Structure 1
């Protein structure tokens, strides 16, 4: 199935889509360091990237005429700084807002489906109207702003179009499903909340819902404090049950139906098998260098080993909240190495990152976890395949009737 990737960064979403069976006809990213990461892995012959047609540049200047209309998927994570908690929160007033450019590419390519990912901040009350505006633009991509029409005027016109129902089933329209998800619930060793906007072209008649969670906190608590299998797996003695968890664990003990989810994956699970970065053998592992200077202070604490990591951020030493640090068993802290961060973002160990500490951590902090991307893209691929199969069966039925 054919696809294109916008704002590809270091390739997390693109790799997940590739694993799910999509073949990228174009992978577009403006950042040189992120492109260097992709190019370095291509030079090394990393298989998932072998056929990528990488374009370093702005999606607004790419020759989209070189890509056929009606491809199966468009995917991308438009720059999130206008909506991130760490940014200036300018939304539509921020020149880095790439949602209009995304809608323009959808309008030109008319993909059967799209996957758009962004930060949780997009759902804040401050941006409620603009978030609604984004969804309507994706739903009706053939109704762009007219002249110097501002976004509020365009929103009003799109709302009128939606309530009228005029274009549904006629022009290029999409059924759009917005979902706020926690990556930890899908096997990613990180509590990373993100918004996915998934759309299917209306003429396909696809019925889709976001994949059900496969992992849970309760299942982790069960493995840690009821069976103890978590600690045995790591060769550790079961510690005393924290008082703050006593009530929740007691309720889990009383449950009569077994849990159907797997346990959340933790930092300890993610970095298992990697030597401490301060040790002698660590230098032999790519991207596994010790970074000095980590400190803990109020409001700047790291990720406990026995929970999923806090959300990795696009920064290094100055990241607020200490999200890019781990807390050792003795209570001391250190920075995650690039390799550890890559594991937390579920990049394969064979995938290497190019650039300085600052640049590589920025790439990782902006990335979509590969495993989460794969789960979403696989569910989209399945629905597209079923729609194509239904179309094929319908056509064959018509032929048989015509020859009868």
Structure 2
């Protein structure tokens, strides 16, 4: 269900708590809508990017804040948002989260019936990969809000969650218990869940996300954001190109030996929607320090496509990007010398990768693993659509995200880091330790080699 009713602002002064905030995708979305936010993020480099961007940040572990510092959070926060880490649920990972779905549902039931945090924490230690349990944190925060004296036990008014499409089943279970069982204090929500395609909201990239939007009872039934652009359909694209003499599938075969990915999605009412945005459209013009990419190009993904991690696809500048992941810096870019000759050109800069995610040009990516930061982020334009639908606001104006970002001053950055880390120029003992920021490898579904019996079979 998508929004069709007139806009009615359901909160006079929304303020967001962004769990697993990353480098700031949802916070930038909030900024474009003039909605303040506070992000909790444990990765040091992502926090450095956030400080450089001028975003309010706690450099902390989400679980640790809930256990020991929840009362220090601003009591006026009324919107809970988050995108828990997806590695154990994504098809590109080892699958520990997908294989533990029924167990995680059981923990959801236990949380809603009021089981003690201590008992649940002890049981969660038996999961093969501890990251699987992080998908429970938004629900645990929602419950903790009703137990907080600092908040006068007020529940969050709105909850917005997004994850890889494989988590849709868990979001549906969230919806069931939020609507039917309610939080332990009796608070219930109206909830909508679905898998949305980001290119249908103007993001120049195909990326499917499982989304949950919940409103506290009495605030009206939520709706999903209405699409603004057509869905990308690769078969139709290939047919059109062959008809027009630009055989994209044949070009792709020159570089990979296989054609580009196939996507069966069909958008309803395409004639009323704008055409999806291409990479060329997003990167062509000079803006800020971005010099512009006007030369036609092809991109070969270093990541899988169509939910197949091993499949490498090729797209042209006339198509949307593949899902932008932490491997975006490995995408090979081929540029045209003439109609028949191509050469390997400059790969995407972090500024360009961010723009494909709809971050503003010149967003101040900082620290290490910047490609991973870009890939982990919520596309800000998509996040703005989610926030607008959840809060009853008009559709966001994408032009606000195409203006070069103004980074924080040194003084502002020092103040933000002092608040987030405890010192103006360094991390402190209260920050997550570097040794804890590398997740242990999952013991589930080890990668196969040709020497295993199963491979031989």
TM-score (norm: length of structure 1): 0.65
Q: CA 1:259 to 1:177, structure 2 compared with 1: closer, same or farther past 3 Å? A: same
Query: Within 5 Å, which residues of 2 pair with 1:64-75?
Result: 64-67=70-73, 71-75=77-81
Contact kept, 8 Å, 1:295 with 1:333, in 2: the verdict is no
Quick one: distance in 1 between partners of 2:276 and 2:63? Answer: 39
Q: CA 1:120 to 1:210, structure 2 compared with 1: closer, same or farther past 3 Å? A: same
Give the CA RMSD over aligned residues. Answer: 3.7
TM-superposed deviation, 1:9: 0.2
TM-superposed deviation, 1:137: 5.2
Task: Return the match for 1:59 from 38, 62, 68.
Answer: 62
Q: CA 1:207 to 1:175, structure 2 compared with 1: closer, same or farther past 3 Å? A: closer
> Residues 326-353 of structure 1: CA distance to partner in whole angstroms, max 9, x if unpaired?
4434554553221111110000113110
Could you tell me which runs of 5 or more consecutive residues in structure 1 were left unpaired when the two chains were aligned: 43-48, 144-169, 229-237, 245-256, 276-281, 289-293, 319-323, 385-404
The runs of at least 4 aligned residues of structure 1 exceeding 6 Å deviation read 218-226, 294-298
Task: Return the match for 1:179 from 170, 180, 194.
Answer: 194
Verify: 1:376 aligned to 2:390, yes or no: no
* Partner of residue 9, structure 2: none
Contact kept, 8 Å, 2:301 with 2:322, in 1: the verdict is no
Contact kept, 8 Å, 1:219 with 1:261, in 2: the verdict is no
Verify: 1:347 aligned to 2:354, yes or no: no
> Residues 277-313 of structure 1: CA distance to partner in whole angstroms, max 9, x if unpaired?
xxxxx9x659x9xxxxx98899434432110000011
Query: Within 5 Å, which residues of 2 pair with 1:41-120?
Result: 41-42=53-54, 49=55, 52=56, 54-62=57-65, 63-67=69-73, 71-91=77-97, 92=100, 93=127, 94-97=129-132, 98-109=134-145, 110-120=155-165
- Where 1:343 maps in the other structure, the secondary structure is helix
* Partner of residue 44, structure 2: 32
Q: CA 1:270 to 1:174, structure 2 compared with 1: closer, same or farther past 3 Å? A: same
Quick one: distance in 2 between partners of 1:326 and 1:295? Answer: 7
Quick one: distance in 2 between partners of 1:99 and 1:296? Answer: 28
Contact kept, 8 Å, 1:113 with 1:198, in 2: the verdict is yes
* Partner of residue 321, structure 1: none
Contact kept, 8 Å, 2:25 with 2:377, in 1: the verdict is yes
TM-superposed deviation, 1:217: 4.7
Quick one: distance in 1 between partners of 2:74 and 2:52? Answer: 28
Could you tell me which runs of 5 or more consecutive residues in structure 2 were left unpaired when the two chains were aligned: 1-13, 101-126, 146-154, 250-268, 294-298, 303-309, 395-457
Query: Within 5 Å, which residues of 2 pair with 1:290-369?
Result: 299-315=311-327, 324-329=331-336, 330-333=341-344, 335-356=347-368, 359-369=369-379
* Partner of residue 226, structure 2: 212
Contact kept, 8 Å, 1:20 with 1:381, in 2: the verdict is no
Q: CA 1:182 to 1:326, structure 2 compared with 1: closer, same or farther past 3 Å? A: farther
Contact kept, 8 Å, 1:178 with 1:195, in 2: the verdict is yes
* Partner of residue 142, structure 1: 183
- Where 2:29 maps in the other structure, the secondary structure is helix
When the two structures are aligned, how many residues end up with a matched partner?
301
* Partner of residue 190, structure 1: 205
Q: Which has the higher contact order (CA 8 A, sep 6+)?
A: 2
TM-score (norm: length of structure 2): 0.58
Quick one: distance in 2 between partners of 1:132 and 1:225? Answer: 37
Quick one: distance in 2 between partners of 1:57 and 1:208? Answer: 31
Q: CA 1:349 to 1:221, structure 2 compared with 1: closer, same or farther past 3 Å? A: farther
